[in-house]
Amino acid sequence: MSVTDIQVTICGSAGDGTIAAGDILKNTMASIGFKAIAFDLFPAEIRGFGKCVSRTRISSEPVYTLKPEADVLISLDDTHALAHIREAREFGVVIHEECPIAPAAEGSQVAEYIEPGHLPYQLPMRNMSEQTTNSPRSRNMVALGFLAGLLDMPRDAFHATIARKFRGKAKEVSTQNVAAFDAGFDAALAVFKLDDVRFRAPAEGAETGAAVMTTGNEAVVRGCLDAGIDSFFGYPITPASSILEMLAKDMPKRGGRVLQTEDEISAVGATVGAGYTGSRAATSTSGPGLALMTEMIGLGVMAEIPCVLLVSQRGGPSTGMPTKTEQSDLNLAVYGGSGDAQRLVVAPTNVYECYELAGYAFELAETFQTPVIVLLDLYLSNRHESVALPDDPPFALTAGKGLSEHDPDESYQRFAAAADSISPRAMPGEAGGIHTITGLEHGAEGRPSDSADTHAEMNRKRHDKLRGALAYRDLAVTERHGDAGKVDVGVLAWGSTYGETLEAMKQARAEGIRCAAMKVKMLSPLPTAAIEAFMDDCGAVLVPELNHEGQFANLVMSQTGRPVARLSYTTGEPMRPGDILREIRHLAEGRGPRVVAQGPNAAE
């Protein structure tokens, strides 16, 4: 077998360097040409010794999701790792501490819980760390080195990543970490490798160094910067705070302005004000903040103002579960706000699309003169994928009909009728375009009016103009994968759940089920033509999503009029491919659609 597909789970306590070890592992693998996807779990509390879990899947082929089982489990803290022992697969490797500090109570050490099917490797991590660095804090590097040696991974690549990671710090930090890593690596050389976890160097010709491990939030930030974001207003909220923080650091270097406002209403208000004035402006938030922003979004829709909202969903409703993932703000993003206030909503399904859609959001906003919501979720925000972002960004740095497209002999009307319902937009500072905009209903020249004809016409204008977004430039808003033509079961998914959907679809096809999957990247307007064409090919259609009410299923059903089978649940964790596969099988057997809204593992 020349394909590598290894998933490493590292469990530890806060302060053990669990996340750092995972970080070095995934960055090293990406730097030598592997594809990787990684997702870390942080403790909910700030202080204390909460559990950290770092999961990294390394593959020579593109991967879309984490596997339910790990090939290697490393325990840096047995108390926390106990709950995860079963995560290591049969004949998978478990690496753990050989010498507990104090006489350990029976039942508290990983050694007792290692399953018969596991391959255990005891390692005196603490002692090795003390010997090389005079401190037990480098146990994580010892363990990482041991893993690298066990799997014959290239030592130098790790050294390079460690040096990069600590380049801002004193030199000893880097040398000590390398020393601890080498101690582990050398120990592994003396161990007989039972060869069940196989690691093969990537094929010749793999682009080395081109891919970098990037999180969804990092990709969003890159997309904004590559699209020439000019001003940003944000308010801290999990899991979107890092967007504000990264932009606060990077935008000034490029002449941009960032402001942390006093609340979300102010953030979106300033974004709208800046967008009105011609700045490429954005804000970021999560569900609770978006709820506060809906009134302003309505103003943006009514007054036809370009602005971008980067929203990462978390467990809801209300304050919900700030550190858990969910997809339950679709209704809020698509419908939130008073009146018929349709706006553009796009939803990335992987880290690359976070970059792509964040970048395109600005020109979409300017072209269609409306708020654009980029809707991701905590899983995407925080998960790492190896992506190669383009050196030559595809985004248009200016877009939309400006005052120059207005005939200067005519008096300027901000909301003049047009074939595509998009009026030339004047901006403050431009001569010949003076106008006032308002949240009141208004006529073509912008003055308040509540006449029947005006309101009907303006509602039509504001809605019709958005249709063009379905076929904007080279941006694909749907994509189909799997079997072409007629299939038994089609899976229609959005957001991060698409990764798990692809995995389930692959397995279903391997079992002989004719199966296809379609991702929907634009939620408003909904690409109903493409969706209906897909549904025409499917014997049954399944919609899996991480919310209780089946919000996307409802959206699809209400706009196509066709029934779908649903798999909707909220565990705070990413959906499991096994659960989607089970539903695909169920539908393939012709047993009819059903609504599964309880937890996963629902009985057949």
**Subset of 445-504 contacting another protein (CB under 8 A):** 447-448
HSE-up (13 A, CA, CB side) for residue 527 = 25
Residue 119, interface with another protein (CB under 8 A)? Answer: yes
Please give the structure tokens belonging to residue 514. Answer: 């004719």
Longest dimension (CA), the chain: 91
CB of 258 to another protein, least distance (A): 8
Residue 352 as a binder of another protein (CB under 8 A): the answer is no
Nearest-angstrom CA–CA distance, 420 and 484? 34
Residues 121-140 that bind another protein (CB under 8 A): 121-122
Report residue 116 CA to chain centroid gap: 36
Shortest reach from residue 184's CB to another protein, in Å: 16
- In angstroms, the CA 367 to CA 291 distance is 25
**Binding status of residue 423 toward another protein by CB under 8 A:** no
Backbone angles phi, psi at 490, to 5 degrees: -115, 140
CA–CA gap between residue 334 and residue 311 (Å, rounded): 12
SS3 at position 281: strand
Alpha carbon distance 515, 484 (integer Å): 9
| Site for another protein contains 412 (CB under 8 A) | no
* 339 touches another protein by CB under 8 A: no
Q: Does 366 bind another protein (CB under 8 A)?
A: no
The correct pick among 3, 83, 99, 533 for binding another protein (CB under 8 A) is 99
Residues numbered 161 to 200 that lie near another protein (CB under 8 A) are 192, 194, 196
Q: Which of 104, 173, 291, 292 binds another protein (CB under 8 A)?
A: 104
Can residue 291 be called a binding residue for another protein (CB under 8 A)? Answer: no
- 318 conformational bin, left if phi > 0, alpha if psi -120 to 50, beta if neither: left
Residues 17-56 as x/- pattern, contact with another protein by CB under 8 A:
----------------------------------------
For residues 516-546, one letter each, b for 16 or more C-beta atoms within 10 angstroms of the residue's C-beta and e for the rest, the string is bbbbbbbbbbbbeebbeebbebbebbbbbbb
Query: Where does this chain touch another protein (CB under 8 A) — which range of 128-136, 264-272, 345-353, 394-402?
Result: 264-272
> Is 279 a binder of another protein (CB under 8 A)?
yes
Residue 109 is a binding residue for another protein (CB under 8 A): yes
Q: Binder to another protein among 200, 254, 473, 591 (CB under 8 A)?
A: 254
| Burial label, 137 (beta-carbon count in 10 A; 0-12, 13-18, 19+) | middle
Q: Which is nearer to another protein, 41 or 110 (CB)?
A: 110
Interaction residues for another protein, span 76-95 (CB under 8 A):
90-91
Min CB(538)–another protein separation in Å: 38
Positive or negative: CA dihedral 394, 257, 428, 346: positive
The footprint of another protein on this chain (CB under 8 A) covers a number of residues equal to 71
Q: Which residue's CB is nearer to another protein, number 339 or number 448?
A: 448
* Nearest approach, Cβ of residue 451 and another protein (Å): 16
- Residue 449 CB coordination number (10 Å): 15
Of 5, 55, 60, which Cα lies nearest the Cα of 26?
55
Nearer of residues 41 and 299 to another protein, judged by Cβ: 299
Q: How far is the CB of 586 from another protein (least distance, A)?
A: 27
Asked if 9 and 74 touch (Cβ cutoff 8 Å), the reply is: yes
Q: Does residue number 430 form part of the binding site for another protein (CB under 8 A)?
A: yes
Q: In one letter, which amino acid is 418?
A: A
Name which position in 273, 393, 443, 572 contacts another protein (CB under 8 A).
Answer: 273
Q: Are the CB atoms for 185 and 115 separated by under 8 Å?
A: no
What does DSSP say about strands 487-493 and 515-520: parallel, antiparallel, or unpaired?
parallel
Q: What is the distance in angstroms between the CA of the first residue and the CA of the last residue of the chain?
A: 35
Token pair belonging to 574: 């990413």
- Nearer of residues 282 and 553 to another protein, judged by Cβ: 282
Torsion angle of the four alpha carbons 431, 435, 439, 441, in this order, in degrees rounded to the nearest 10: -140
Q: Can you tell me whether residue 141 is helix, strand or coil?
A: helix
Applying CB under 8 A, the span of 117-125, 312-320, 346-354, 567-575 interacting with another protein comes to: 117-125
**Residue 236 CB coordination number (10 Å):** 13
For residue 227, which of 366, 470, 397, 63 has the smallest C-alpha distance? 397
What are the structure tokens assigned to 142, written together?
A: 């010892």
Look at residues 245, 304, 244, 300 and name the one whose alpha carbon lies nearest to residue 271.
Answer: 300
- Which one among 205, 255, 561, 592 touches another protein, defined by CB under 8 A? 255
- Out of 111, 291, 416, 597, which residue is the one contacting another protein (CB under 8 A)? 111
Contact criterion met (CB below 8 Å) for 214 and 39: no
Nearer Cβ to another protein (78/363): 78
Which part of the chain contacts another protein (CB under 8 A), choosing from 144-152, 439-447, 452-460, 496-504? 439-447
Q: Does 253 bind another protein (CB under 8 A)?
A: yes
The site map against another protein for 204-243 (x = CB under 8 A) is --------------------------xx-x----------
Which range binds another protein by CB under 8 A, 15-23, 98-106, 212-220, 530-538? 98-106
Contact (Cβ atoms closer than 8 angstroms) between residue 437 and residue 276: yes
Q: Which is nearer to another protein, 72 or 513 (CB)?
A: 72
Q: Per rule CB under 8 A, is residue 399 in the interface with another protein?
A: no
- Could you say which of 61, 106, 391, 410 contacts another protein (CB under 8 A)? 106
When asked if residue 15 is in the footprint of another protein (CB under 8 A), the reply is: no
Q: Based on CB atoms, which residue is closest to another protein, 289 or 433?
A: 433
Is 436 one of the binding residues for another protein (CB under 8 A)?
yes
Residues 137/172, Cβ–Cβ less than 8 Å = no
Stretch that binds another protein, among 157-165, 259-267, 484-492, 506-514 (CB under 8 A): 259-267
- Name which of 284 and 313 has its Cβ closer to another protein: 284
User: In the structure encoding, which two tokens stand for residue 202, read together?
Assistant: 């990537």
